[in-house]
Structure 1
């Protein structure tokens, strides 16, 4: 068969006349495909060697749904390998399945929100909404059953922890065995496509977490894939020297090898093309761009890989977002590739979460640092306020020795007054500070303890703390300017103009273009007692309506409904403004004003 007639693509490519198979195995002596279509007989369908270690065969007898593997004859003997590009597997240690790429996307004309109007909800498929059978993890369909809750809450993007096939049925997902295949315990690839389409119908985008800093390390058929390796390490897909070493095993992909770079790019583009996801979050990019994660030993080919993937996403899928989890002071991650940056749309911001969590979990008021809170509110990586994702809880922040914020505040009473007041104080900072706000599953109904992949959310708390759910809903509504008078919360600009360390009050001004229905003033009291007759500056004269009071009793029966009211800003310089007003604010509370 002439090369130009060969079907393009990698792995198993179904077509009208059968299935074409292509695999990269440069050190194999012979390769054949074995499967349910040939009785697993290695002599029936040999692949022909091509250039650069690629092998190809077109098998008329194969069809969608068939199980298969590649049989490689090597110096180390015969090796049976799952297809690295398998779109579906029976399990992490089973067989590949010839996957039907067809799906009815008709009507899926979803438009992802502008980045300054995103509200992200991070969740873990296996624990977000468990099945009735306690021995089974949650599935994509069980998330769909809760989409009405998320839509009513107001979030417009779900960020899903990794779904690449992993060892066993329960995991955080950061141990991918097969990055092109969707975890079968979650429902597999078809269920994921159905879920994305369903989410889009509800007006909710889907961002997927991917893991390219390491693979496996268990159930990893890529390991010494075609028998070759150096230093008894991973072979063709991995570094074979000290660059292989990561905190999760010696399985860092070889970012300098063209075929491996293509493999990772193909994976990123697959999620956007075949699954219609709206964004990709890259796990631990510091272990892609450096060897040790702290920058003392750079990996230039890792950096250029990130640039390449982001450039391709921006070119082919304008409007979709890529998010880095780097958690370093690194503004280059979110700079344009043309300017030497990595080209990410945004990045998780450790400069926000750590000061905010510390401010609300510190037990003594006098030990809270409002200067640190101001730093968290104002921190920027570049000139765009939305090149950071801000949060008080994420999967990393509520595990690995840390717990949910209410639990950290009051370990012995995580549902009590202090836990409720100060955790919602943190939430109010998330939704009023500049950045892309993110929640972690169950945060809106005070989920306690810490995150584990074996413990599902306690959905009974949604009813028990329905008022707290409403508080989050009201904050999100204001953040997204749903009523037309808080446009400033979607804007680029912030000024922290009042900071009282003694009385623990901070106030800041948010605006987009400025003026009525745009200017927003946020006042936060980080003190256990109310502040009455409190004078602060305002950016304009006249009436300022109170749009939100986190102390409202409707949010919880034992909130005080402190008599905070609309205020009138009168002439008289204060806090650098020519106008001032007198207000009252409850303990551990936030007020939001606009005109």
Structure 2
């Protein structure tokens, strides 16, 4: 007897009450069936799917069937027939897959309890970027979400209130940074199950930590293998090298990574939009970080730029509008790296609608100011410009950092290395790498923007990071023994984060919009700026940074008001490292104008150090 289409909505395998709706998109198929552990006999005999829209002229884009007697965690595959061609395919919407390359029925239901997490205000966020496979490892295998959950107390102690998880979707390689997605809806089997991710988010929320997930929509693959590539057997006749229904079938498919999805197909747009909503609802994510939005909005790749992709821009607007309509407090971040204000402009004005974007120019200015061996090579004017950059006249429309996964790994054969390694290769734990890398961190936590650090940065992790433990001389797994070995550096980061978040109620200005870079001494390599929200004691903050090897026992700068100014942080404090010299101190500002300010006072600056003062 011919099957009937399922009356139930949803794509992939939608499980309910020991039965399941199976639905897939296969517009060029002549027939579709589902085979699995629940068919009799298992895998040999399939159950036919019926067209959802069988009326003449409508085509057979979607196929579905409702099957009784299906158990949670049953395995299955779609079998697609097109002429004489027969292909067995994983379900693009499946929530789990086995090592044997079968899709798994996975009930997304999870008991979240009565706890309701409140996303921190964006101006109070401090983000910690983690890679699940290398963050916490105990047995030589890639780490899991369960392993990462065991280190949440470390993040509480550090003081961060948001985690950004690098892509955890299923990938084909044994280890990966995650930017080669194969199954967008499935958690990589090496990292755990859907339920493990939900438990991780629940545990983070219970500790007051938001969770953001990194998503990859600018390309699929490379190595989309048994799933999306030529999914229903169709490919363009004169271009069998192209990917079929999920991909562009012209030169717009060309990308520097895998292959670019066809954002012009409504079904592909829906597929990507559904994935974004899955993270926000099924995992209760507090936001998303979109990888390389440039490659969604422009057809760039292999050294060429083939122009704009308007439908890619429209897709980003659609997802951001839906997020804002349902969860306006959640944070969607773009990695565009082109300094384009339209990325974070509201969609009603034609913008892409992201809430914030990575600002690589901030990293570049800091790197160029702290890594050269000679002080003469440090351009603090460029640092001043980087501090002042903002998008859409909003200080928190950008994420700023001195380390991220992009800058600490191996790219195109070049070993980039972490910031201490960049400063003195092979000697990351010596005086100058400690001083200058923490100076860069101090600027990151006091400049306008949402600050972010990369895993291990807080205890001076060094070397070149990679996801692959087989690469000789590279560092994959974090060395957690360094937390105690460099306990002082950890305390430095902990204090910086506390000051940035105004946990002591005397540095509110670091969460404010206002900035005045009032002192730029290019010859002496000293920079000073004023941060405030409303102004006044406990709000006005003065930051002074010394990018030279010289110490200044008494350096005169401007202050906005007379009176006592108290040292809230000094990266030169000897508690952080025995080689540091305690040069900073409380000071008193007097009513003599300086640097365009009403008052002036003297401060102490250690070599390669930053101080933070407030009233």
State if a TM-score over 0.5 links the two structures. Answer: yes
Q: How does 1:81-160 map to 2 (within 5 A)?
A: 81-91=89-99, 94-131=101-138, 133-134=139-140, 136-160=141-165
Could you say which residue in structure 1 is the equivalent of 2:47? 45
Q: Report if aligned partners of 2:252, 2:306 keep a CA contact under 8 Å in 1.
A: no
Structure 2 residue ranges without an equivalent (≥5)? 54-59, 470-475
Would the alpha carbon gap of residues 408 and 544 (structure 1) be closer, same or farther in structure 2, given more than 3 Å must change? same
Structure 1's 502 and 297: CA in aligned 2 closer, same or farther, altered over 3 A? Answer: same
> How many Å apart are 1:351 and its aligned residue?
1.7
Matches of residues 105-504 of structure 1 in structure 2 within 5 Å? 105-131=112-138, 133-134=139-140, 136-220=141-225, 221-230=227-236, 231-232=239-240, 233-249=242-258, 251-292=259-300, 297-399=307-409, 400=411, 401=414, 402-453=416-467, 454=469, 455-504=476-525
Is the Cα contact below 8 Å between 1:538 and 1:577 reproduced in 2? yes
CA–CA distance in structure 2, aligned partners of residues 296 and 535 of structure 1: 54
String of CA shifts for 1:156-184, please: whole Å, max 9, x gaps: 00101000001133111101110000011
Give yes or no for contact 1:137–1:169 (8 Å, CA) kept in 2.
no
Q: Deviation of residue 302 (structure 1)?
A: 0.6
CA distance 1:178–1:463, shift in 2 (3 Å): same
C-alpha separation between the residues in 1 aligned to 2:342 and 2:98? 41
Deviates more, 1:65-74 or 1:215-224: 215-224
Deviation at 1:296, TM superposition (A): 6.0
8 Å contact from structure 2 (residues 361, 386) kept in 1: yes
Indicate how the Cα distance of structure 1 residues 502 and 256 shifts in structure 2: closer, same or farther if over 3 A, else same: same
Q: Are residue 547 (structure 1) and residue 548 (structure 2) matched?
A: no
CA shift for structure 1 position 68 = 0.3
2:314 match: secondary structure: helix
Aligned residue number for residue 591 of structure 1: 611
SS in 2 for 1:126: helix
Report the 3-state secondary structure (helix = DSSP H, G, I; strand = E; otherwise coil) of the residue aligned with 2:611: strand
CA 492–4 in structure 1, closer or farther in 2 if over 3 Å, else same: farther
Alpha-carbon separation, structure 1, partners of 2:534 and 2:136: 41
Q: Which moved more, 1:14-23 or 1:208-217?
A: 14-23
- Contact 1:76-1:227 at 8 Å conserved across structures: no
Instruction: State whether structure 2 residue 49 is matched by structure 1 residue 75.
Output: no
Q: Is the 8 A contact 1:516 1:594 kept in 2?
A: yes
2:590 equivalent to 1:570: yes
The match for 1:528 is 549
Normalising by structure 1, we get a TM-score of: 0.97
Cα distance in 2 for residues equivalent to 1:124 and 1:584: 39
Deviation digits for residues 488-526 of structure 1, max 9, x if unmatched?
Answer: 000001110001011110000000011111000000000
- Offset of residue 450 of structure 1: 1.0
Check conservation: 1:380, 1:388, Cα contact below 8 A: yes
Structure 1: 5+ residue runs without aligned partners? none
Partners of 2:23 and 2:368 in 1: CA distance: 53
CA positional deviation for 1:40: 4.0
Aligned Cα root-mean-square deviation (Å): 1.5
Contact 2:127 2:163 in 1 (8 A): yes
SS at match of 1:46: strand
Paired position in structure 1 for 2:29:
28
